[in-house]
Amino acid sequence: MKSLKDVEFWLATTIILVTIAVAILSYLRVVDLNFVVGPYRLAHWFTWIGTSFIAFYSPLYYAVKRRYPSKTKSLLRVHVFGNLFSFMLITIHFAQQISRPQAFFPDLSTGLLLYIVVPLLVASGYLHRFQLFKKMKPHTNRWLHVALTLSFYLTILVHILQGLRLI
């Protein structure tokens, strides 16, 4: 497999494995990130940063790569690694939320849906970028990736409106 010789493949895989490890340690409160920075908890800052990057860079990436095709490779690297780090930040937030004691357990609703969508987005992007399954048609996976991206935007909109108590 060509991917096994690709440094970017191994870096992306390492980020995913580190994300899983940090999430487990965060969930178990071995790594306790449950402290306040400014007016909000650190885990909330993490998720806002991660979500903002995905929300703003994804359409920017789509538009700029078409306008400047010669920059596609660099834009793709930022897209892949920026989204992987965003996934890490969002995962830390989610692990912190679900590790809260029962008396303070959050209402997961759209947050849970978002956390289902984000790893699926990462998985579809990872499979597409590194072409791990040769039998998978690129257009099928691209369609899935775009559909998940749309699901991300719709869910984050509802999640924000719920958080602001507008719905």
| DSSP result, 8-49 | HHHHHHHHHHHHHHHHHHHHTTSS----EETTEEHHHHHHHH
55 close to 48: Cβ distance less than 8 angstroms: no
pLDDT of residue 164: 86
In this structure, are residues 132 and 3 in contact, taking their beta carbons and an 8 Å threshold? yes
Q: Give the model's pLDDT for residue 91.
A: 96
pLDDT of residue 136: 66
What is the pLDDT, as a whole number, of residue 105?
Answer: 80
- pLDDT, position 138: 62
Q: Which amino acid is at 22?
A: V
Task: Say if residues 24 and 98 touch (Cβ distance below 8 Å).
Answer: no
Q: Measured between alpha carbons, how far is 31 from 25 in angstroms, rounded to an integer?
A: 5
- pLDDT of amino acid 3: 66
pTM of the model: 0.89
Neighbouring residues of 46: CB distance < 8 A, sequence distance ≥ 6: 33, 89, 90, 92, 93
Can you say whether the dihedral through the CA atoms of 33, 78, 57, 17 is positive or negative?
Answer: negative
pLDDT given at position 73: 93
Longest dimension (CA), the chain: 54
List, for the chain, all residue ranges whose pLDDT scores fall below the cut of 50.
Answer: none
Written as six digits, the tokens of 25 are 């340690």
pLDDT number for residue 102: 83
**130 within 8 A of 57, measured Cβ to Cβ:** no
* Distances, alpha carbon 122 to alpha carbons 28, 39, 111, 140, 163, in Å: 24, 30, 17, 16, 24
